[in-house]
Amino acid sequence: MAEIGKDINKAKQLLASGELVAIPTETVYGLAANALNTDAVTRIFEAKNRPVFDPLIVHVSSLKGAGLFVRNVPDIAHELADTFWPGPLTLLLEKTSLIPDLVTSGLSHVGIRSPRHPLTRALLKELDFPLAAPSANPFGYISPTTAGHVQDQLGGKLAYILDGGACEIGIESTIVGFRNGKAVVYRRGGLQIEDIAEITGEVSLDINASSNPKAPGQLASHYAPRKKLVTGELDALLAAHLHQKVGVLSFQKKYDVPFQITLSPDGDLAEAARKFFSALRTLDHASVDIILAEYVPDVGLGRAINDRLRRASHQGA
């Protein structure tokens, strides 16, 4: 099992020698390695069992810190970074040759993000290389929002888990690229599109669900529990599964079944986002045969939660 602690120096030394370290961010925990070391990056793909066509996000302490790794940064990317970094926003920027092709799966652009968790910020400031880090879960499974989640899933495959407590936002960063000088959102996440649009004006969306590897980050099935997950209207779902041991994931209402989690009795979407992956994981580990879940209101952060619910419940390829 991996050691868990708050020792930034230890994390630094391990990363500098090419080892994997889990890092806390405000979104989810990341499985980090030196982004400039292809052997270390290869270990990330191996530990997660992640296909190499799925590129990694590179974490830096600031856009300035990304200076050598990206070029032709559009003005609106600068404005977005100035406004929302550190924070739950990943920018797709043209990469220089310093970023190994393995990191971007051969794509010309690299995902760059400046996370705002204080421990990870302190670590990044100590390092003289950026950190490639996908979410610290086995490929396709529920994302981790505590150090314990990382330990449960990947504990045997990494050296150290930097423990920063439970993640403040709980769902991944919003991914934004640029086409003809305009912002394009590729993944909904912790930063809302309305907030981005205030800076950039018109924002287009390119969020399809696909099993086609050419559409990285948009796999139809993702974030999934091991148990079957069915989404819909909960009363109807409960009636249809009367003879099964069900786990219920609801937004506001309580249900009278042994295994149920309410995301936010007050209807607070930020609270729901914070609890979402953890709740799904708890139900996945409970003694139930099937998980029934309802969508949350499809506004603001709710859209990012619903995107994950949709992919987590996707059946088949």
- The residues that touch ligand TXA, with contacts defined as CB under 6 A, are 25, 27-28, 30, 54-57, 90, 92, 104, 107, 109-111, 113, 115, 133-135, 172-173, 175, 186, 216-217
DSSP reduced 3-state for 146: coil
Residue nearest to Mg ion (CB): 135
Structure-block tokens of residue 103: 């990191």
Residue 169 or 291 with smaller CB distance to ligand TXA: 169
Task: Report what 145 binds from ligand TXA, Mg ion, none; CB cut-off 5-8 Å by kind.
Answer: none
Task: Report what 100 binds from ligand TXA, Mg ion, none; CB cut-off 5-8 Å by kind.
Answer: none
Q: Shortest gap between Cβ of 120 and ligand TXA (angstroms)?
A: 9
Q: Shortest gap between Cβ of 90 and ligand TXA (angstroms)?
A: 5
Of 100-159, binders to Mg ion (CB under 5 A) are 135
Residues 6+ apart with CB under 8 A from 130: 35, 36, 58, 59, 60, 65, 66, 69, 124
Residue 145 or 313 with smaller CB distance to ligand TXA: 145
Task: Report what 104 binds from ligand TXA, Mg ion, none; CB cut-off 5-8 Å by kind.
Answer: ligand TXA
Contact track, Mg ion, 215-234, x by CB under 5 A: --------------------
Task: Report what 275 binds from ligand TXA, Mg ion, none; CB cut-off 5-8 Å by kind.
Answer: none
- What are residue 262's DSSP bridge partners? 250
Report DSSP letters for 182-245, one per residue: EEEEEE--SS-HHHHHHHHS-EEE----B--TTSTT-BSS-SB-SSEEEES-HHHHHHHTTTS-
Name the amino acid, one letter, at 160: Y
Residues 6+ apart with CB under 8 A from 180: none
CB-based burial, 84-123: b 16+ in 10 Å, e otherwise: bbbbbbbbbbbbeeebbebbbbeeebbbbbbbbbebbbeb
Residue 48 or 275 with smaller CB distance to Mg ion: 48
Residue 115 or 302 with smaller CB distance to ligand TXA: 115
Structure-block tokens of residue 286: 């409970």
Residue 134 or 247 with smaller CB distance to ligand TXA: 134
192 binds Mg ion (CB under 5 A): no
Contact predicate 175/191, CB 8 Å: no
Task: Report what 24 binds from Mg ion, ligand TXA, none; CB cut-off 5-8 Å by kind.
Answer: none
Residue 33 or 92 with smaller CB distance to ligand TXA: 92
Q: Is 53 left (phi over 0), alpha (psi -120 to 50) or beta?
A: alpha
Q: Shortest gap between Cβ of 12 and Mg ion (angstroms)?
A: 24
Binding region for Mg ion (CB under 5 A): 135
